Amino acid sequence: MGCLSPVVIMDFDYEINGQILLLPIFGDGPGSIILDHIKVDIIFQLEEYERKNKKYYKIVNTGLTMSPKLIKFDLKNLFHGDKALGDNVLKVLNENWEEVFADVKSGYEEAFGQIFASIFSRLLEKISISELFGE
């Protein structure tokens, strides 16, 4: 199954002390990541089981891939408020978003895959195969 979303916005509080793209980076505060025109493909591997004389599906494996056209990072209070340094590092991150995303992509895909699998599992637990396909 695939979907295309014009924008996904993730707002969060962050705390960082490390490196991104070999640049030292530290700070804490509010942040956001904007994923523009993101394509998500998800595959659920299903297994059939029986409950109360009805057949149901359950998810046994999930695969998800994410392909954004653009990512924008915004981290407030980088370098404990050094605006010039923070703005310069954000500029580098935003200009090199593909490399940054490559470092975290597998974690994002796993997390989003678990979220979608959890939602779909709740549906599959309630609707039998015959109800799902009108048999």
How do 70-75 and 23-51 pair as beta strands? antiparallel
Q: Where are the alpha helices (DSSP H) in the chain?
A: 83-95, 97-126, 129-133
The model's pLDDT over 102-112, given as tens digits with 9 standing for 90+, comes to: 999 999 999 99
134 pLDDT above the threshold of 90: no
Q: What is the pLDDT of residues 85-130, one digit of tens each?
A: 999 999 999 999 999 999 999 999 999 999 999 999 999 999 999 9
- Rounded to 5 degrees, φ, ψ at 134 are 65, 35
Average pLDDT over the chain reads 95
CATH classification of the domain holding 116:
3.15.10.30
Number of domains in the chain: 1
Separation CA 5–CA 69 (nearest Å): 11
Token representation of residue 65: 């891939």
Q: Does the pLDDT at position 135 exceed 80?
A: no
Q: Which contacts of 81-84 are long-range, i.e. CB under 8 A and separated by 24 or more positions?
A: none
What is the rounded distance in angstroms from the CA atom of residue 23 to the CA atom of residue 14?
Answer: 17
Higher pLDDT, 75 or 23: 75
pLDDT of residue 19: 93
Segments forming the whole domain that contains residue 39: 2-133
